[in-house]
């Protein structure tokens, strides 16, 4: 018996025939671990917002572009079909900061994932420290070892359905990196101690690593 056959039978699923909530479970359980964009933003009146997003990656290095995807709230939410405060703030002001999450402030980050009214300042809720940015109005998270000041480049609204989402692309105008982590532009992963998101309430550490050279 081949190793592939021994691995067991496959289940094939058509998304069109499943509930969106179940497709969400498949996606977040398969695309793992996901880095976390801890995004600070402000509304037009200057009210601060801080929220984590695990649909997050890099889109370009020249110019430096990062992207994350705020989702439309799903069935069962108290704010059904509404967009995230973060998305509304960024569309209005075109500015935000991406703060990388390390394990030492994971609990405070998680506190910011609660669905709170727009007028609530998550910096105050979490006890995290706002740090003035250089080029954008939203503050940075002082506890974060890597902070990226961003200007909105483009927002692509993919789906307005429950559990749909938008793709937010931001150009990094400033990198702020803890000096003790940095060596010739390389960041020490041990000192960064970043965490990633799995499915449900599960997170992953980034301590178990291995090297593999790319073929020449």
User: Could you report the per-residue pLDDT of 85-135, keeping only the tens digit for each?
Assistant: 999 999 999 999 999 999 999 999 999 999 999 999 999 999 999 999 999
Q: In what order do the strands lie in the sheet with 34-35?
A: 34-35, 195-197, 203-205
Q: What's the whole-number mean pLDDT along residues 147-168? A: 97
C-alpha closest to that of 132 among 149, 120, 146: 149
Residue 73 has a pLDDT of: 80
- Percentage of residues of the chain with pLDDT beyond 70: 94
CA distance 59 to 64: 8
Give the predicted TM-score (pTM) of the model. 0.93
1-25 burial: b if 16+ Cβ within 10 Å, else e = eeeeeeeeeeeeeeeeeeeeeeebe
pLDDT surpasses 90 at 78? no
Domains of the chain: 32-201 (2.30.110.10)
- The pLDDT of residue 7: 73
Cis peptide before 200 (omega within 30 of 0): no
Q: CA 211, 214, 216: angle at the middle one, nearest 5? A: 145
Q: Which of 183, 209, 182 is nearest to 196 (CA)?
A: 209
């Amino acid at each position: 018996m081949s190793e592939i056959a021994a691995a067991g039978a496959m289940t094939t699923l058509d998304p069109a025939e499943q509930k969106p909530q179940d497709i969400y479970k498949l996606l977040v359980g398969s695309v793992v671990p996901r880095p976390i964009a801890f995004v600070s933003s402000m509304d037009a009146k200057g009210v601060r917002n801080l929220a984590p997003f695990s649909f997050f990656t890099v889109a370009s290095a020249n110019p430096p572009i990062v992207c994350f995807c705020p989702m439309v709230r799903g069935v069962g939410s108290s704010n059904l079909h509404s967009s995230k405060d973060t998305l509304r703030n960024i569309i209005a002001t075109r500015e935000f900061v991406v703060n990388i999450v390390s394990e030492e402030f994971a609990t405070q980050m998680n506190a910011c994932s609660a669905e709170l009214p727009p007028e609530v300042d998550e910096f105050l809720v979490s006890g995290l420290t706002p740090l003035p940015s250089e080029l954008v109005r939203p503050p940075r998270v002082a506890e974060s070892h890597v902070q990226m000041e961003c200007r909105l480049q483009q927002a692509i609204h993919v789906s307005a359905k429950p559990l749909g989402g938008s793709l937010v692309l931001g150009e990094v105008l400033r990198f702020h990196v803890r000096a003790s982590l940095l060596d010739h532009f390389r960041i020490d992963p041990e000192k960064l101690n970043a965490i990633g998101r799995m499915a449900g309430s599960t997170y992953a550490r980034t301590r178990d690593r291995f090297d593999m050279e790319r073929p020449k």
